[in-house]
Amino acid sequence: MSYMLLITAGMVSVSLVLFGITPSLIMQRSWKLAFPDSSSTITVADTTAEPKTQKQVDKELNTAYIFDHVIEEMIKREYHTLPIGECMGKIGSMFIGTRYVGGTLELQPERCIIDLNGLDCVTFFENTLNIARTAKIKEHELAANQNAMTFKDVLYQLEITRYRDGNMDGYTSRLHYTSEWIIDNVKKGVVKDLTKDLGGKPFPVKVGFMSTNPQYYPQLVTEPTLVRKIQGIEEQINAQKHWYIPNAQVKDIESKLQTGDIIAIATNKAGLDYSHTGMIIKNAKGMALFLHASSGKKRVYLDKRISSYLAESSTSIGISVLRPIDPNHETDATSEEDSEN
């Protein structure tokens, strides 16, 4: 399909020449939002005093172009009118083939960004989730105005899900550990944790990798005083209750999974909770396929059944299952979660 040819990083200028159109025509939705003025509280642009390199400018242009193309396809095919899980499945599938790139969030100082030039397992499901969430919020507006959904709208939703309590306040406010991401986003009504209801077992999380290996995290190297704060966050995570479905049980619950369910793969690696994330695509035969940004395949890839995928990993011990909640129904979902607790 045409959009699959347009999500490869560095293709903006080539695409413009091929289609004979200018940035002003293809980026009406995102152009100003990708390069907001200094008064913006959330930006995709670099806010440092140093001038941007041509590479940085090209990446921002390409992200804006990819975003516009995804939204145009979504509106054209009316994916935004589907239930949020199905909407996620369609949007996530548009990113198939996008190259795997890790570390795109490791900026100094911390900024909430979207970079669609390359995705890792976290940024893949994060961007897919928040494009779908924004689409559902804007569903009725989009019926009358196809430009109603902007880059900045998605960036706003992304900050809500990426940072503790929905507020970006430096590096340590980011939800670095998936176990905390789950707890925080359940509390915010973004997702429902189905793991326990699907027969999950207690997951004895003992995170500590970040505080014991700060050399792998540029911001912790630059600001070593943050290590103690990270350690405190890890202690709080370890004190919480967590759930996972062991590998041996996953095949039995595959029929209960739905397209758009977010999958977090639990690991036996010391100091970590989860080693990988992705989402479910149910095919025409009802098989629960695993869609993820794969470091092995070096791209976003629609893989085999989730149970089969787990069977090939020596470090994966099971999964947690998070079902996205329509943001128009978050209040009801949060009240239900509170009553269950």
pLDDT digits (tens, 9 = 90+) for 265-310: 999 999 999 999 999 999 999 999 999 999 999 999 999 999 999 9
Q: Percent of the chain, pLDDT > 90?
A: 79
Taken in order 47, 58, 152, 33, is the CA torsion positive or negative? Answer: positive
Which pLDDT belongs to residue 332? Answer: 52
d(CA 92, CA 67): 13
Closest C-alpha to 94, from 279, 265, 240: 279
Give the H/E segment covering residue 272. none
Which pLDDT belongs to residue 29? Answer: 47
Q: By the 8 A CB rule, do 135 and 159 touch? A: no
- Average pLDDT (170-179) is 98
Question: Rg (Cα) of the chain, in Å, rounded?
Answer: 20
Report whether pLDDT(5) > 70: no
What Å distances lie between residue 320 and 26, 44, 147, 247, 253, CA to CA?
39, 31, 36, 11, 12
The predicted-structure confidence for 186-210, as pLDDT tens digits, reads as follows: 999 999 999 999 999 999 999 999 9
Backbone dihedral region for residue 188 (phi beyond 0: left; psi -120 to 50: alpha; all else: beta): alpha
In the chain the domains, ranked by start, together with CATH numbers, are 2-205+240-340 (1.10.3670.10)
What Å distances lie between residue 264 and 19, 38, 61, 292, 314, CA to CA?
40, 37, 31, 11, 16
Q: By the 8 A CB rule, do 210 and 150 touch? A: no
d(CA 143, CA 282): 28
Which pLDDT belongs to residue 331? Answer: 58
How much is the pTM? 0.85
Which pLDDT belongs to residue 49? Answer: 45
CB burial string 152-186: b at 16+ within 10 A, e below: bbbbbbbbbbbbbebebeebbbbbbbbbbbbbbbb
Q: pLDDT band for 33, please (50, 70, 90 cuts).
A: very low
Report whether pLDDT(44) > 90: no
The predicted-structure confidence for 133-147, as pLDDT tens digits, reads as follows: 999 999 999 999 999
Q: Percent of the chain, pLDDT > 70?
A: 82
Give the mean pLDDT of the chain.
87
